[in-house]
Amino acid sequence: MKINYRISLLFLKALHKEIYTENDNNYKTYYSEEPSDAFYEAVAWGGLAEANPEAWVKLDATKKQEIIKLSERIGKLGKISPCAN
């Protein structure tokens, strides 16, 4: 299962960099950093968390909060100016 998870993250990263290049560049400009694996994990969880699947339910509260916090960055993919924070 861990291998499939890792492959999914790698695919998501490659898709973002190759197909959504502008969004990838905007993210890097806005946050002055590369999107992390944790960010892509948050993207992958996306709407899944709302469906409350067993895997989400079993995550500890700290991990859920990390995912929720990083998922807030998804809406910034279209931003092109640096983050003020």
Per-residue pLDDT at 40 exceeds 70: yes
Tell me the pLDDT tens digit for each residue of 67-78: 999 988 887 776
Token duo for residue 57:
């339910």
Neighbours of 41 (CB within 10 A): 18
Provide the pLDDT for residue 72: 87
Sort 44 into a burial class: Cβ within 10 Å, 0-12 / 13-18 / 19+: middle
Q: Share the mean pLDDT of the chain.
A: 81
Does the predicted TM-score (pTM) go above 0.75? Answer: no
Contacts with 5 (C-beta within 8 Å, 6 or more apart), sequence order: none
Provide the pLDDT for residue 23: 86
Provide the pLDDT for residue 21: 87
